[in-house]
Amino acid sequence: MKTLRKTIFPFVIATLAALVSCNNDDVEEYIYVPLTNAEKTEQINAMQGSYSGLCYFAPDNYYQAFTDSVKAEWVITAPDSTIAIRNFPLKVFANNVINTEVKEALKNDSSQTMKVAVYLYRPWGTSGPLANCYFNAIPRGSEDLKVDMPLTFGEEQKNATFVFTSNYNNSYYATGVYDNKKNMYFYMILEKIIIENGPTCDVNSLVVFAGSK
């Protein structure tokens, strides 16, 4: 664990700093240039495989200092261009929920597999072969991603809709990078949780998955 943290954490901090820096630039920097089909195939084939690492989160939502982490695993499959996050650690969102029943349900959740799509793109202003693969889990400006997963309240199980958004406070985005050393990071931003026949809880919490093959 210590070796993994020393290896991956600087990678997360460096990319996080770069992302924050880019958000202060001109709007042209945000333009995404589509890849050719051949480029997409080459990149997703390079990315596919099993990853292990950490899910970093900040209990107080101060994202310049991720203070906690839990183990995480995910798999990328090339044919359907998806990331399957195994045992998605829903408990990391518990501290950002006010409703006590929902908070406890998240803390006690056994975790489930969640899939998100990989949207590859070429950063604006680049040309020629790319050293890294750049992607979004949720493209900027797109509709929110709604994922239904059951939560257990006492002995009763209820359906919960987890609403993930493409950006947080116009500063952090559901983006990711795979580098030529087989390291990967990507952001997921949970906006709210809608409980079936129950409350809607605002969360507005960002987590970073960082790991390697």
Q: What is the pTM of this model?
A: 0.82
**20-24, 92-96, 139-143, 159-163, range with greatest mean pLDDT:** 159-163
Amino acid sitting at position 173: Y
For residue 34, what pLDDT band results from cuts at 50, 70 and 90?
confident
Whether residue 12 is predicted with pLDDT greater than 80 in this model: the reply is: no
Rounded Cα distance between 159 and 152, Å, is 9
pLDDT of residue 24: 42
For residue 162, what pLDDT band results from cuts at 50, 70 and 90?
very high
The residue ranking higher by pLDDT, 4 or 122, is 122
Q: What are the pLDDT digits (tens) for 186-206?
A: 988 899 999 998 999 999 888
Query: Which helix (H) or strand (E) element contains residue 38?
Result: helix 37-47
φ/ψ (deg, to 5) at 9:
-60, -45
